[in-house]
Amino acid sequence: MSAVSIVARRSPSFWGRLRHNVGAMLGVALLAVVVIVALVAPFVAPYDPYKLDIMNKFLPPSSVNIMGTDDLGRDVFSRVVIGSRISFQVAAEVLLIAASIGIVLGALAGYWGGLIDEAIMRLADIFFAFPSFLLAMAVVAALGPGIENAILAIGIAWWPRYARLLRAQVLSVRARPFVEAARSLGASNLRLMAVHVLPNCLAPLIIQVTMDAGAAILTTAGLSFVGLGAVPPMAEWGSMVAQGRSYITNYWWIPTFPGLAIALTVAGYMFLGDGLRDLWDPQLRGKVRF
């Protein structure tokens, strides 16, 4: 048996290791279900999620209305299904805003250091001085309720975590021999960052983004729950839970099903992010975690 085949057997591919990580596969399975539902939502939803039918309000789950109807006669199942699309939009836009700002500022702080590093990190400390949810609430309160304002507020509140993460990674990578070798060969600062430094910082960023996707959905739902996120009649899960909380004792299905949708989606992102961390962390590699 050749040495190459021995190494291949002892060093399985990333996808091979991913398949053997129970937590990661559970996260993939949960998210696959939500993604499929979001893709086929208009075809799966049996009724118009915004159509009012007062004559059929508060109907319990049945073969006609799988998850019952709410206080305005709207089909809960249709609203939960359509809400999956809104949740993915929320996660994507929040992370785009937070990561874009954080990556740029973190890269500048880590690579250039000095006064630039000091100014950016002190600005990040100011943001870290406030709980992110309370800071997001303050921004939304200033801008006005609405799903887009909630997304913008969360993105603004979260950029420091990406700035600090990337700064730490850049500080580690820029001192490595292959970066010094490229610099000695005349590579410009832009080329060093784009070709040698940033590509070697992707793994922790991917893990952070994956875990924050679920947190973005949960935070947006929290803002909607307190009246600062999505406004009626938008079929957003947090707003649906808020509207149904008054009826939970008598009509439990109205807030329960959108709440379960939030829990399963967030759990999927968390399981996947934790599994990716296990696979990319040399100290955890090879261990099966849940």
Q: What is the pLDDT of residue 14?
A: 62
Asked if pLDDT for residue 117 goes beyond 80, the answer is yes
The tens digit of pLDDT for each residue in 215-265 reads 999 999 999 988 888 888 889 999 999 989 889 999 999 999 999 999 999
**Tokens of residue 69, six digits:** 């109807």
Among all chains, which residue has been given the structure tokens 């820029």? 174
Answer yes or no: is pLDDT of 290 > 50.
Answer: no
Q: Which domains does the chain have, with CATH numbers?
A: 28-280 (1.10.3720.10)
Query: Which is nearest to 75 in space by CA: 192, 235, 229?
Result: 235
What pLDDT is stored for residue 281 in this prediction?
A: 64
pLDDT of residue 24: 84
The model carries a pTM of: 0.84
Backbone φ and ψ of 69, nearest 5°:
-125, 160
**CA dihedral angle for residue 157, residue 105, residue 143, residue 265, rounded to 10 degrees:** -50
218: exposed, middle or buried (Cβ count in 10 Å: 0-12, 13-18, 19+): buried
Which pair of structure tokens corresponds to residue 109?
């702080």
Q: Are 269 and 210 in contact (CB under 8 A)?
A: yes
Per-residue pLDDT of 100-110, as tens digits, reads: 999 999 999 99
Read off the DSSP letter of residue 90: H
Instruction: Return phi, psi of residue 75, to 5°.
Output: -70, 120
